[in-house]
Structure 1
Amino acid sequence: FAFVMAAVLFVAIPTGAAKLFHFITEDPVFLNLMEGALRLLIFVGYIGVISMMKDIQRVFQYHGAEHKTIACFEAGEALTVENVKKHTRLHKRCGTSFLLIVMLVSIFVFAFLGWPDLWLRILSRVILLPVVAGISYEIIKLSANSDNCVLGWAIKPGLWLQYMTTREPDDDMIEVAIESAKAVLPEDKIPAGTANYIQDIS
């Protein structure tokens, strides 16, 4: 169901709606760029709408706790609430950033595919999605370990979007994020001095 809804929202609707721009020009590159812009607007609008829901705001707080905990770990500091709180809730390798980069990369990849029938346009978008995702992944991966200014600007939109998809967490949320990180890290990778927040409830 989620896959179908995503295909309708982010492929079918913008691809079909782009024909409304035919009155301006028949240039396929322009029409494809408008399709990409519509897709991007739908995506950001969707994030904006769900971010107003109380339950989603709480999810976004946990999202912020996750980012701050990872940042603390990558800084080599002990995972404690006090240490984690000092770090930023924005992260270069965020999944939300990845989705936005996918949207932006798809605008440029699809711009030069011409303007065939609607069903063929939708099919081409679906088929080329792994290519777009692969390019986006490499951008995220390279930017995470590079100070290159071009790559830095390439991921800026994703970092800006995280102001919507993350919130400053409560202390108990940070405790959950720390215990979650410890659960997936090898014991020899957990920084010395990391706190234990699991309570004995027996």
Structure 2
Amino acid sequence: MPVARLRNRYNSSRRMDTFGSRSLSRPVFEAMRATVWVHPEDSLMRAANLLRDGHPSVLPVVEGGTLVGVVTDRSLAEAIALGREPLDEVRLAMRPHLEVRPYALGAEALRLLVETGEPALLVVDDAGNLLGVVAPSDLVADHRPEPNPPLVGGMATPFGVYLTAGSARAGAPGWALATTGALLFLLYVASALFASWLHDVAGGPLWLRQTVAAVGPTALFLIGLRALPLSRIHGAEHKVVHAIERGEHLVPAVVARMPRVHPRCGTNIAVGATLFLGIATSRAIPDESLRLIVAAVVTLLFWRRIGEVFQRFVTTREPNRRQLEAAIRAGSELLEAYRWSTIGRPGLWLRLRNSGMFHVMAGSLAAYAVVAVTLWLLGWPLGL
């Protein structure tokens, strides 16, 4: 049957909407893969080599252009267990084959695989010609030819997720990234002012007030960051980045299962820098050279582990449905932009420009300027 007629039959038979149902409503010829075969007089060793190197674990046996059976891992093992030698002929391990027509639906092929327990089926046309093989994994795989970016970067903004693959970007616009920088700066200023107020009004011993002054701004900043919706959007960003990098389908049911912690998150970098500077500037180790060595070793050993803890409990939270769907839309836009991009391997400048860092820095500087001018107009000391 011509391929065009097969496709017409396939298109007229589609009735299902979910991805899993669609994958089984395709005709087998769209899911099958090419295969090699052996002759009955070939050695068991050759069949074993082909089975080891190929997948699925079924090998057609062809004699005089006619399909006469198959060799599987199980039939090969049974032949060896009966005392056959590796150089004996394949016909000694041959067994009857199961076949399916190319225009049969995937659901029919899957039912036959489940009922028989066979690892794969041979796809044979009406004239008895071997076309290929099909296994359960072939019926579930989506056979997408489009490439996915191997690495994806991103940022959370108050207005959604921003994503980049180096040569392409999608999601939240540049001004949204700038608002992230401004928001983080203003949050830290508010945390510092509140910590200063606590220091002034708090009683107790001197060490307690000094501790409040030293760690109060950072602690309040982290608490505020955790409480903001930005942490949920950050979690959605990580989930969709994981899904893209793993080649998963960008649907809520799949993306929601992805981890919130990502090894390349900026939280890890911030934790590493803080850890190194905290030890390097500490007076607990008098010798400066030794202090730098200890700072470097401790940072290299623990920056990512501590960063993952901060991601899990501070900088990300589980996104709600709306935030997750917005992140998925950004991910779909990125894939579309990436696949249509004519840029090969992006240069360093393009990657930096698309990273979003410049926008965030610009937003922070703009917020600093606004705060500085406001304090100057009010006649208050800058103190930032």
Higher relative contact order (CA 8 A, sep 6+): 1
Q: 1 or 2, which has the higher helix percentage?
A: 1
TM-score (norm 2): 0.28
- Structure with bigger gyration radius: 2
TM-score (norm 1): 0.49
